[in-house]
Structure 1
Amino acid sequence: MPRINVIIPAYNEEKSIQKVIRDIPATGIDDIIVVDNNSADNTFAAAAAAGATVLKEPRQGYGQACLTGIAYALNKPASHQPDVIVFLDGDYSDHPEELPQLVKPILENKADLVIGSRALGNRQQGAMTPQQIFGNWLATTLLKYLYGAHFTDLGPFRAIRTDKLVQLGMADRNYGWTVEMQVKAAKQKLRCVEVPVTYRKRIGFSKISGTVKGTFMAGYKIILTIFRYL
């Protein structure tokens, strides 16, 4: 049975993190790794109480937290290293119970990378801001015309074969993380598929789309990343 690790970057998610961990199906999951990204609240204690492996990462940044989780998974003994890594947000906007359908194409050897697409799935009204929807459309359109990659979303809920993740050589430490993965996967011609996922309003306040600065910086970094790898 393939080993699956779930990595959850979390910044001030004490109100939601236990719900996320609780809803992850127990079957087939070897480790749930929560990376506390310098939270000012009780995210660490809440995640630990829910049974997750919790790491502290004081260097803030979404990509940085993901990189820390990956490093932990890869430093395990060979017999315990994951075959598949799933990335999942800690704000309860995704539906963790949909994880089996996300990893299914990889387990069936039909894909290397699976993106959970909010555009193809059922999205609660107001769960994404207009600027997020436009940004996703613009980014995926650029990916199509510049790289020949057919994506509908940059959704954070995603799964990838560990060996292919290592092959990508991920480097971005903040807003460009998701699109970097998709750009590099397209350039390296990984087998990429999307599956529809359900998306709801997050618990708490968004650190990116909830502020003008965060929205601008994320948009700028995403576009910059797309052109950087041409």
Structure 2
Amino acid sequence: MNSLLPVPPRRHWSTWALLAGLLLLVITSFATLPLKWGDFFSADAVRTTADFLHGFAPPELSPNFLLKVGTATFETLAMSAIGTIIAAVFGALLALPASGRFGKAARQATRGVLNVLRSIPELVWASILLIAAGLGPFAGTLALALHTVGVLGRLFADAFENCPPLPAASLRINGAGPAATFLYATLPQCSPQMLSYTLYRWENNIRAAAILGVVGAGGLGQMLKYHLSLFQMQPAATVIIAMLLMVAAVDGLSYVLRRAMTR
């Protein structure tokens, strides 16, 4: 019976070397960083934190302020949705050359552009665009779109490259051109995965849009920065609650839509 059991795969020395290097890196990181765990959990730190959090209660619930929060929430949602839609369109367009459909040179050049777009964080894009577009949600929307183009373009390109080739080959054998092959074979197979990627990035852009207001890009983030800078903790608590509820609602909606697409 023992001879019928599968033989476990042998570990190459490079695998053990990689694991040892990662472990050494983690140990070195903890050894070199000045982590003051004793000060963090001291009685004075706990008391100061409790006093700070006590200033957030109770949240501001006046009708006029809730109306402002609702308007800012809609602005944040609009920034994330429009930025994601723009990114999905341009990401799909750039994914075509990035997947190698127009030659190796076009693939490398397009992937280089996508790498640059996604390597720059949204906050940096927003800081740059605020100079050109001014304060407000327009700069935040463009910042989300530029960063997300780099992310979705790479994901869409990988989806095109990993698409099963048999349906496309069957159409080519029967005389279909490249455009028809892509539209009727490759795209239908990749579209559920592309929609799933887009919804997931929309979730991330909701959170990013709430943070972009810190640099003046509008929405809930700008309200939060304003009230915290003036030490108005109760209005800030209302804004934070609105952020949490918005993110939870969008996460739930996105999860339901992704489950529906994969059935």
- Give your verdict on TM over 0.5: no
Instruction: Give the TM-score, by structure 1 length.
Output: 0.25
* Bigger-Rg structure (1/2): 2
Which is helix-richer, 1 or 2? 2
Instruction: Give the TM-score, by structure 2 length.
Output: 0.23
Which is strand-richer, 1 or 2? 1
